[in-house]
């Protein structure tokens, strides 16, 4: 059964570890992530961007697939199905479709409008027991074709949004989606520290988990980050393993054309990436 992310993130923040959000794009990715979480006895969050939602035939299809897998694969660890960087309308659709968690990314609105829309979603999510992630300060890089520059959120604006009753808060601290450029200045721990001081027990979310050095991840967790999003790293691992399989000519030998065989190396590569991240984030054995 899908669960809200509230309990797993409250425990993570108190226990000084983070739960990974891994974005899904198809059946193989979803299966790999769920099996790894079960094997490592780790709670997990499956992230779905609006673009991936369209690709996978809509939110209802995804809810059906994930619920079916949880049952058929015998997954007993806590699993949240979460809309990643949702629009206001997208968040409402996911709430209706049976997601157990949604993010409303109102960071590009003026703060008053972000507050107004987030307030409405706090009410809707509260009625259904769904967790809600809000964002302050744009996360840099590309997300579904929208390119943003890494920003540092205003800690007072973070407090204003946190006080609305959201479950978790994503705040820009110089993080970027996708690969970090060579001249990246690193995370702003000063900003993170100031945000945590003002928001208290609120679990903080670190987007752009791909390519952040392990020591920075650990420091971010020590300063209140309880959820870390990873997408690009799984994509790279999947693509690289598939490319190697094709280059080795295995797909040209009769049964190698079988999509189940063609996609298997990529699925294994995702499992390895998820395992590495869960170990780094400290969520292993925390289910």
Candidates 194, 138, 124, 206; CA nearest to 168 is 206
Ramachandran angles phi, psi of 102, nearest 5° = -140, 150
Position 135 contacts ligand 13P (CB under 6 A) = no
Site string for ligand 13P, 160-189 (x = CB under 6 A): -----------------xx-----------
Where are the strands (E) in the chain, listed by range? 19-23, 44-49, 79-86, 101-104, 131-136, 141-143, 146-148, 168-171, 204-206, 225-230
Q: Measure the CA dihedral 125/128/130/135, to 10°.
A: 0
Which C-beta is closer to ligand 13P: that of 47 or that of 137? 47
Ramachandran angles phi, psi of 58, nearest 5° = 95, 160
Among 4, 100, 107, 229, binds ligand 13P (CB under 6 A): 229
Position 84 contacts ligand 13P (CB under 6 A) = yes
Task: Give the gyration radius of the chain's Cα atoms.
Answer: 18
Using the contact rule CB under 6 A, the part of the chain among 9-17, 70-78, 193-201, 204-212 near ligand 13P is 204-212
Closest contact distance (angstroms) between CB of 132 and ligand 13P is: 15
Position 209 contacts ligand 13P (CB under 6 A) = yes
Q: Who's near 153: CB < 8 A, 6+ residues apart? A: 136, 137, 171, 172, 173, 191, 195
Among 210, 242, 273, 283, binds ligand 13P (CB under 6 A): 210
Among 43, 53, 106, 208, binds ligand 13P (CB under 6 A): 208
Site string for ligand 13P, 17-36 (x = CB under 6 A): ------x-------------
Position 232 contacts ligand 13P (CB under 6 A) = yes
* Residue 275 to residues 30, 35, 163, Cα–Cα distance (Å): 14, 10, 34
Length of the chain (residues): 287
84 in active site: yes
Residues that bind ligand 13P (CB under 6 A): 23, 47, 84-85, 177-178, 207-210, 229-233
Supply the residues annotated as catalytic.
84
């Amino acid at each position: 059964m899908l669960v809200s992310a509230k309990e797993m993130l409250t425990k993570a923040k108190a226990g000084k570890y983070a739960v990974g959000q891994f974005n899904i794009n198809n059946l193989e990715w979803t299966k790999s992530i769920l099996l790894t979480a079960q094997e490592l006895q780790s709670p997990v969050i499956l992230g779905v961007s609006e673009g991936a939602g369209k690709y996978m035939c809509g939110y209802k299809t995804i809810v059906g697939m994930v619920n079916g897998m949880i049952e058929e694969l015998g997954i007993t660890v806590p699993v949240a199905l979460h809309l990643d960087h949702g629009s206001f309308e997208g968040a409402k659709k996911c709430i209706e479709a049976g997601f157990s968690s949604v993010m409303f990314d109102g960071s590009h609105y003026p703060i008053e409008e972000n507050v107004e829309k987030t307030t409405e979603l706090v009410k809707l999510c509260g009625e259904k027991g769904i967790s809600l992630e809000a964002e302050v300060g744009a996360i840099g890089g590309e997300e579904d074709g929208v390119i943003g520059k890494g920003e540092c959120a205003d800690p007072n604006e973070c407090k204003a949004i946190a006080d609305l009753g959201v479950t978790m808060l994503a705040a820009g601290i110089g993080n970027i989606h996708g690969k970090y450029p060579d001249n990246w200045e690193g995370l702003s721990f000063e900003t993170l520290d100031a945000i945590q001081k003002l928001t208290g027990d609120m679990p903080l979310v670190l987007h752009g988990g791909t390519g952040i050095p392990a020591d920075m991840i650990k420091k971010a967790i020590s300063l209140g980050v309880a959820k870390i999003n990873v997408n690009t790293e799984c994509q790279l691992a999947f693509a690289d393993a598939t490319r190697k399989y094709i280059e080795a000519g295995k797909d040209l030998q009769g049964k190698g054309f079988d999509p189940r065989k063609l996609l298997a190396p990529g699925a294994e590569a995702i499992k390895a990436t998820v395992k590495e991240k869960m170990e780094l984030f400290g969520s292993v054995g925390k289910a």
